[in-house]
Amino acid sequence: MPVTDTIADFITQIRNAGKAKHKSVDIPCSNTKLGIASILKDQGFISDFERTEDGNRSYIRITLRYYKREPAFNEMKRVSKPGRRVYSPADKIPRVKNGLGISIISTSKGIMSDKQARQLNIGGELLCTIW
């Protein structure tokens, strides 16, 4: 059965790998997923990621980060879904857990964290929240 929401599938695979205490997880690659993985690494939620090729398919190998045998993130949640898109102007980007978490936003300037979007004063589609 084809996946209709690849970002939700990406988030779910990372969340499940963290709960199962896996060291890494391989996920089919796309530019959006690479952007999200880059933000997760910059914010310290994952240790590393790399793009790998297997024949004619490319994957992202994400190395998870743990703290005291627990994943570095408590929750990853999809906000905007294919059936209900959620957009936010720059001045109304929500804070996640009073600034302890982050939102990942797809803007006209690319995929970025909520802090970057506020600094650049641009809004966009709220993809997911992590804390």
pLDDT value for 71: 94
Domain extent at residue 84: 6-130
Per the structure, the count of domains in the chain is 1
Separation of alpha carbons 94 and 99, rounded Å: 9
Residue 109 lies in a domain: yes
Mean pLDDT computed over every residue of the chain: 95
pLDDT value for 3: 79
Tell me the pTM: 0.93
- Bridge-based pairing state of the strands 87-88 and 124-130: antiparallel
Residue 36 lies in a domain: yes
Residue 1 lies in a domain: no
Residue 41 lies in a domain: yes
99-110 burial code (b ≥16 CB/10 A, e <16) = eebbbbbbeeee
Per-residue pLDDT, averaged over 45-73, amounts to 95
Residue 126 lies in a domain: yes
CATH number at residue 80: 3.30.1490.10
Residue 74 lies in a domain: yes
pLDDT value for 1: 58
Tokens coding 103: 């939102």
Give the distance from CA 50 to its chain's centroid.
Answer: 15
Question: Could you report the per-residue pLDDT of 18-44, keeping only the tens digit for each?
Answer: 999 999 999 999 999 999 999 999 999
Question: Could you report the per-residue pLDDT of 71-90, keeping only the tens digit for each?
Answer: 999 999 999 999 999 999 99
